[in-house]
């Protein structure tokens, strides 16, 4: 039996996952600072309001529509309208997840071996999504200088004849950095010059910590280049299990029309969104602020706690060997730690000696050592206890 080469992944567990498995098997508790499943972080949801809409009797009739049921697309258009962006429901295609949306867009734009430029560091799933769709994901750097920004010159020089799209994550996971108007203008220019599309992942867009007029409001209003804006309920409602996401198509009119016609065939081939979920979407989206306010409160108060612990320091040390990078929004924060050892060694030591799990930077493709990534979602008590252990261990070892 032979399998496709695109599935030839190294499947052996890595050192960190083996250590985690070993501790779990022995029943040793772990303070998990990688927890990013919002349904396990103690937020209050109105169960009745989430589950009752799934009983809509209209779901008993099959009404296939390649773009997804109109009522759900109108609710998505309403979501954007509340953010000051007017969309026609025809521009919106529903999918079961953002991951599926990526696959549709990659299939629409790229032939086998074509490439898509993606930020580095960023979301680890891109390489898998690229591989599964026979597309090469090529990194372009984000650089940190008191704040993250796109290295636009590096991005421009990365462009090559087989590049089909530039991908942005707004705000990026895990850097929490948004795309700014100046960066977007240059990216659109790069895309137009090379006949490449722009793909914008906005799943965390509602989780900004402060307002910033220079920040792009949404790529769903970018029309100078063919643009695909992706988002969905996994972060907007913190309900990844409900499986609803979407693609918004924008661009120069003729290009947009062609893209939509082709995307319609791809979507029609799968017809993947379930009717009960689509019918529940208008009521669900209307309640998003109830969960979003809890999450924003949690991530910001955890961030304040982190700053407080870092500011307090240790009596014997003038400056701590650990600090955090600036973050504008999202669910994560990044610690700068000494690169005297690898990030994976730090993560292994924190797990075995302090029972705290963190992600080493290389998980998100940081180009150098010296970074640990933490989720800001865990409940405040365990977050604080885990951080105390992380900071004192790094101080003691530096
Ligand atoms: C940047 C980013 N995009 C997309 C996703 C996945 O979204 P979905 O559950 O809709 O596939 C995630 C999940 O963490 C993410 O971090």
Tens digit of pLDDT for each residue in 156-182?
A: 998 778 999 999 999 999 999 999 999
Residues 228 and 83 sit within 8 Å (Cβ to Cβ): no
The β-bridge relationship of strands 197-201 and 227-232 is parallel
- Give the distance (Å) from ligand 1 centre to CA of residue 200: 12
- Give the distance (Å) from ligand 1 centre to CA of residue 209: 19
pLDDT at 312: 82
Tens of pLDDT, residues 299-321:
999 999 999 999 886 555 567 89
Is the beta carbon of 101 within 6 A of some atom in ligand 1?
no
CA-closest residue to ligand 1 atom 7:
98
38, 93, 122, 123, best to mutate for ligand 1 pocket (most atoms within 8 Å of CB) = 123
**How many Å apart are CA 101 and CA 96, to the nearest integer?**
8
Is the beta carbon of 122 within 6 A of some atom in ligand 1?
no
122, 171, 173, 199, best to mutate for ligand 1 pocket (most atoms within 8 Å of CB) = 173
Q: Please state, for a pLDDT cut of 90, what percent of the chain lies above it.
A: 95
Distances (CA, A) of 220 to 76, 111, 231, 259: 12, 25, 10, 15
Tens of pLDDT, residues 77-108:
999 999 999 999 999 999 999 999 999 999 99
Q: Is 5-44+289-396 a CATH 3.90.1150.10 domain? A: yes
Average pLDDT on 233-259 reads 98
**How many Å apart are CA 285 and CA 19, to the nearest integer?**
40
CB neighbours (10 Å) of residue 341?
Answer: 15
pLDDT at 316: 57
- Give the distance (Å) from ligand 1 centre to CA of residue 98: 6
338 vs 313, more confident: 338
Residues 248 and 98 sit within 8 Å (Cβ to Cβ): no
Strands (E) in the chain, as ranges, are 31-32, 92-95, 115-120, 136-144, 148-150, 163-169, 197-201, 227-232, 245-250, 323-324, 332-336, 356-357, 359-360, 371-375
Distances (CA, A) of 180 to 10, 171, 177: 37, 10, 9
Is the beta carbon of 240 within 6 A of some atom in ligand 1?
yes
142, 178, 203, best to mutate for ligand 1 pocket (most atoms within 8 Å of CB) = 203
- Give the position, in ligand 1's atom list, of the atom nearest the Cα of 36: 14
DSSP code at position 329:
B
pLDDT at 160: 77
Annotated domain spans of the chain: 5-44+289-396, 55-287
DSSP code at position 84:
T
Q: Is a pLDDT exceeding 80 seen at residue 110?
A: yes
Q: Please state, for a pLDDT cut of 70, what percent of the chain lies above it.
A: 98
Distances (CA, A) of 144 to 150, 324, 326, 368: 9, 12, 9, 12
pLDDT at 116: 97
Is the beta carbon of 97 within 6 A of some atom in ligand 1?
yes
pLDDT at 313: 66
172, 234, 375, best to mutate for ligand 1 pocket (most atoms within 8 Å of CB) = 234
The two three-digit tokens of residue 83, written as one number: 């953010």
The β-bridge relationship of strands 245-250 and 323-324 is unpaired
Strands (E) in 261-379, as ranges, are 323-324, 332-336, 356-357, 359-360, 371-375
Average pLDDT on 265-278 reads 98
CA-closest residue to ligand 1 atom 6:
98
Is the beta carbon of 98 within 6 A of some atom in ligand 1?
yes
**How many Å apart are CA 173 and CA 374, to the nearest integer?**
11
Is the beta carbon of 202 within 6 A of some atom in ligand 1?
no
pLDDT at 318: 65
Is the beta carbon of 174 within 6 A of some atom in ligand 1?
no
Q: Residue 9: which residues within 8 A CB-CB, separation 6 or more?
A: 128
Burial of 296: CB neighbours in 10 Å, binned 0-12, 13-18, 19+: middle
Q: Using the structure block, give the residue that is written with the tokens 């700068």.
A: 336
Q: Using the structure block, give the residue that is written with the tokens 């609710």.
A: 75
State whether residue 351 is helix, strand or coil. helix
- Give the distance (Å) from ligand 1 centre to CA of residue 158: 25
Is the beta carbon of 239 within 6 A of some atom in ligand 1?
no
The two three-digit tokens of residue 273, written as one number: 């969104």
pLDDT at 184: 98
pLDDT at 398: 82
How far is residue 181 CA from its own chain's centroid?
A: 20
CB neighbours (10 Å) of residue 55?
Answer: 10
pLDDT at 317: 59
- Give the distance (Å) from ligand 1 centre to CA of residue 52: 26
Q: Is 55-287 a CATH 3.40.50.12280 domain? A: no
């Amino acid at each position: 039996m032979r399998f496709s080469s695109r599935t030839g992944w190294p499947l052996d567990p890595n050192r960190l996952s083996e250590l985690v498995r070993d501790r779990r098997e022995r029943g040793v508790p772990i303070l998990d600072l990688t927890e990013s499943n919002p349904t396990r972080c103690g937020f209050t949801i109105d169960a009745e309001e989430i589950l009752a809409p799934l009983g809509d009797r209209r779901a008993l009739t099959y009404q296939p529509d390649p773009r997804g049921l109109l009522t759900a697309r109108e609710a998505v258009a309403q979501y954007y309208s509340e953010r000051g962006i007017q969309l026609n429901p025809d521009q919106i295609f529903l999918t079961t997840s953002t991951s599926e949306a990526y696959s549709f867009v990659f299939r629409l734009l790229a032939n086998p071996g074509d490439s898509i430029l993606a930020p580095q560091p960023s979301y680890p799933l891109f390489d898998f999504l690229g591989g599964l769709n026979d597309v090469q994901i090529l990194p372009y750097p984000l650089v940190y200088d008191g704040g993250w920004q796109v290295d636009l010159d590096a991005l421009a020089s990365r462009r090559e004849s087989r590049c089909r799209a530039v991908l942005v994550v707004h705000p990026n996971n895990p850097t929490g950095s948004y795309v700014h108007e100046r960066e977007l203008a240059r990216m659109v220019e790069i895309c137009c010059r090379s006949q490449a599309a722009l793909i914008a992942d906005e799943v965390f867009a509602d989780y900004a910590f402060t307002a910033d007029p220079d920040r792009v409001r949404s790529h769903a209003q970018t029309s100078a280049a063919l643009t695909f804006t992706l988002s969905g309920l996994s972060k907007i409602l913190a309900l990844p299990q409900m499986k609803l996401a979407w693609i918004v198509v924008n661009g120069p009119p003729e290009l947009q029309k062609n893209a939509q016609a082709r995307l319609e065939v791809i979507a029609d081939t799968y017809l993947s969104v379930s009717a009960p979920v689509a019918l529940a979407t208008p009521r669900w989206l209307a309640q998003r602020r109830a969960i979003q306010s809890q999450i924003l409160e949690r991530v910001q108060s955890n961030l304040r706690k982190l700053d407080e612990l870092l500011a307090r320091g240790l009596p014997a040390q003038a400056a701590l060997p650990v600090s955090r990078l600036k973050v504008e929004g999202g669910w994560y924060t990044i610690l700068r730690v000494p690169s005297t050892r690898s990030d994976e060694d730090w993560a292994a030591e924190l797990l075995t000696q302090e029972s705290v799990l963190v992600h080493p930077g290389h998980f998100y493709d940081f180009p150098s050592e010296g970074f640990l990534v933490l989720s800001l979602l865990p409940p405040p008590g365990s977050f604080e206890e885990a951080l105390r252990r992380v900071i004192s261990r790094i101080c003691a070892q530096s």
